[in-house]
Structure 1
Amino acid sequence: MPSPHPASLAHLPFFITAPGESDILLGVAIAALVGAVLVGGVLFLALHSLPERIAHKAQKLQMEIVAVLCLLALFTHVHMFWVAALLLAFIDLPDFGTPLTRIARGVERLAKKEPPEDKTPAKRTGRGSHPHA
């Protein structure tokens, strides 16, 4: 080990390195900084995707709206989008499409018209719902 400068103290602290030696404290600080940034980023993204994970069992349209609001919040840093996505994820929206479709088909049957072909698979509701019936 090279001798310290004549004007220095006899006992130097551990974090002061001699000329030409590697700085251990700098390496530890770099590793801690990189680790903190990675852990912080993972926690941020996990928190940011919380509304999408909550709404994964919701209707398709509701899930898409929540996902779009989360993306808007991520890229614009407008926190109100994230709050709106979180609130929408917790709300169970009623299914208006199925009853309205059934009403429309019933009215068409009353009018003796053939209902238009539906592209969604038919749900089994009882008599006459079998595809080969």
Structure 2
Amino acid sequence: MSPAMHPLATEHLPFFITAPGDTDVLMVVGVVTLVGSVLLAGVLFLTIHSLPERMAHEGQKLQFEIVAVLCLLALFTHIQLFWVVALLLAFIDLPDFMTPLNRIARSSEKLAGLPSPAEPDPSTDAPAGKTEHGHA
């Protein structure tokens, strides 16, 4: 026996109005859409947030570590200036200062007559052509 319609109800109800006890299809679609869009937005946010780290991964180790720390600071403090600085730092190739400075130090040691760490001390009994680890 079907329930009688209320006298004030219209004959043509919209599709999203369900009978008592039936599944509300519109609400199920809405919940699935909401959960899917929140997950997609989270994945998109984290992908964009890790962009500077992925860019700096091919560079120098120090540069990569600085960019990674700046990205983590931006993630946990919500100060987006850290992320912008990390992105700019990932784009810039840092110059190599250590190689010229090491060459200057070795040349200065050679001019001063000091043995450089790469060359064995002639007063020791190490065989010629061997390093301190015994490899040629």
Distance 2:117 2:17 in 1: 83
Whether contact under 8 Å (1:55, 1:63) holds in the other structure is yes
Q: Which amino acid aligns with 1:21?
A: D
Whether contact under 8 Å (1:2, 1:18) holds in the other structure is no
- Please state how far the C-alpha of 1:71 moved relative to its aligned partner: 0.7
- More divergent stretch after superposition (90-99 vs 108-117): 108-117
Structure 2 residues not aligned, in runs of 5+: 119-128
TM-score, structure 1 as length reference: 0.81
What residue number does 1:6 align with? 7
TM-score, structure 2 as length reference: 0.80
What residue number does 1:46 align with? 47
What residue number does 2:25 align with? 24
What residue number does 1:91 align with? 92
- More divergent stretch after superposition (62-71 vs 100-109): 100-109
What residue number does 1:112 align with? 113
Q: Which amino acid aligns with 1:104?
A: A
Distance 1:30 1:5 in 2: 30
Distance 2:2 2:10 in 1: 14
Structure 1 residues not aligned, in runs of 5+: 118-127
**RMSD, aligned CA:** 2.1
Whether contact under 8 Å (1:54, 1:90) holds in the other structure is yes
Aligned length: 122
Distance 1:65 1:2 in 2: 71
> Percent of pairs identical after alignment?
66
- Larger Cα-atom Rg: 2
What residue number does 2:73 align with? 72
